[in-house]
Chain A
Amino acid sequence: MTISKGGAFVTGASGGIGRATVLELHARGYSVALADLARAEAAAELAGQVGGVACDVDVSDPAAVASAVERAESQLGPIEVAVSCAGFDHDRSFEKTDDELWSRSLRVLLGGCVNVIAAVAPGMRARGRGSIVNIASELALLGDADHVAYVSAKAAVLGLTRAMALELAPGVRVNCVCPGPTDTAMLTERWRTESYLASIPLGRFGQPEEVAATIVNLAEATWTTGQVVSPNGGVVIQ
């Protein structure tokens, strides 16, 4: 029986990177709360596997996130680490990006991070410790055609991370991971070509477990805040 490092809260917990992050946190001794939307069965199964708790949450809804964090803390104790993985992607030309897709991208990809921070920060601040990791994307650094809403929202997460790192210092740290092309269901056929693969300096897609290790390493990096770290196989070097 390992001694628990305390509670962790992960959104998008049934997705490729989210799931790997849950397993990594569990392996390192955290009690994990798994927030996900409409994948209750997968989340419950994974929760059972790691002895955590699962909740069905729309991360764009501040009240739903707040109540999920409250429930998680009542069952697991204080949240020490929060990771916002929840997201969705789309391929849509700029001219065809309507207000609905634009707003939903902002509310889920950016708002999901905002709502998790707003929910966990008061408790973390009161305790004088805590670590928040926002998941953006390598595309936030690069830009991408046919992805304007996704990229804009993910790029906004970088500024959010930097501002909140300063706002919540010194007790609470806030960092950001920008995964490159990772072998998950979100990596669509568009990316799975020989020519794209050949353009990746490390010659392969990332594995979710590799990204999860970066996320949890960053979550536990006690002298690191406001940073953007991009595990991307060398696709972006800047």
Chain B
Amino acid sequence: MAVVTGAAGGIGLAVCAGLAAAGWTVAATDLPGTSVRYEADLRNPAAAGALIGAVTGDHGRLDLLVNNAATMYHGELRAGDLDRWWDTIEVNLSAPFRLARAAVGHLRATRGQIINMASILGVTGEAGFSAYCASKSGIIGLTKSLARELAPEVRVNAIAPGDVDTPQQAVDAAAYGLTREELYARHARTVPIGRVLEPAEISRLICYLAGETGYTGSCIHLNGGRAML
């Protein structure tokens, strides 16, 4: 039994499909109004406990939590503009913490695991994305701490994708003042494999990690060579 947050997004959809194809029962969660079975607005601190309670109430167990939901905005760090800065931290870092805390009893019982979605930007930084970068390096710290504390019952890992072909790319393109095509052309020039990643490639890595019991506290980078880590 797996829970995937941000399941209506580009990567989330592929992860749900990949896990289902690999034999997992998947509880897809996303914001209210999206076409998922479990609606949850993770900005609300109470949502994590309610979501895990609903899923385990319906299915009786939990083996895998995929903390995939995230938000980002483009804007310089400014004193008068910190609300959306902290909103990003809440969704991308605090919600995974709260979901893990709500799930940990169930995961201990099943010797389950957590996979957190980090990002290349947590390691490389990016101007105009300080909250996102902080949240994504923060989630790597969260991953390592939980991996140490919850071992050996529960394994905790992270994946740090580079540029992935999702609707988010259009948002990123706008931030850089480019069209989506221009941004993809730039990726083709600057990413060694010459293209953006497909969501299915992220999904395959998650399915692989979920089945390999030797990993814990790792952050696996999948970025086409953009950052060689």
Contact = CB atoms under 8 A, between A and B. Distances in A.
B79 A151 contact: no
Interface string A76-119: 00000000000000000111010100110010001100110111
B138 interface: yes
B124 A152 contact: no
A106 B146 contact: no
A162 B123 contact: yes
B127 interface: yes
Interface string A109-147: 011001101110100000000000000000010111111
A148 B149 contact: yes
A47 to B, nearest CB: 25
Interface string B45-83: 100000000000000000000000000000011110010
A148 B45 contact: no
A167 interface: yes
A233 interface: no
B125 interface: yes
A154 interface: yes
A157 B134 contact: yes
B79 A143 contact: no
A94 B156 CA distance: 13
Interface residues on A, range: 35 or more
B195 interface: no
A159 B148 contact: no
Contacts of A166: 125-127
A62 interface: yes
Nearest to A147: B145
A179 interface: no
B101 A94 contact: yes
A35 interface: no
Prevailing SS type, chain A contact patch: helix
B145 A154 contact: no
A9 to B, nearest CB: 15
Contacts of A62: 79, 82
Contacts of A95: 101, 104-105
B: contact size bracket: 35 or more
B156 to A, nearest CB: 9
A161 interface: yes
Nearest to A159: B137
Contacts of B124: 162
Nearest to B128: A167
A143 B130 CA distance: 22
Contacts of B135: 156, 159
A143 B125 contact: no
B159 interface: no
A211 interface: no
B14 interface: no
Interface stretch (B17-25, B33-41, B89-97): B89-97
B201 to A, nearest CB: 23
A134 to B, nearest CB: 11
Nearest to A97: B101
A208 to B, nearest CB: 24
Contacts of A145: 145, 148-149
A158 interface: yes
Contacts of A163: 121, 125-130, 132-134
Nearest to A94: B149
A152 B82 CA distance: 19
A71 B133 CA distance: 31
A66 interface: yes
Given A94-B104, A114-B82, A155 B77 contact: no
A164 interface: yes
By CB atoms of chain A within 10 A, which of B94, B100, B127, B137 has the most?
Answer: B137
B140 interface: yes
Given A140-B141, A143-B143, A167 B79 contact: no
10 contacts: A95-B101, A143-B147, A153-B138, A156-B134, A156-B138, A157-B134, A162-B122, A162-B125, A163-B121, A167-B76
Interface of A: 62, 66, 93-95, 97, 99, 102-103, 106, 110-111, 114-115, 117-119, 121, 140, 142-149, 151-167, 169, 226
Given A159-B136, A164-B130, 5 more contacts: A95-B105, A144-B144, A148-B142, A163-B130, A166-B125
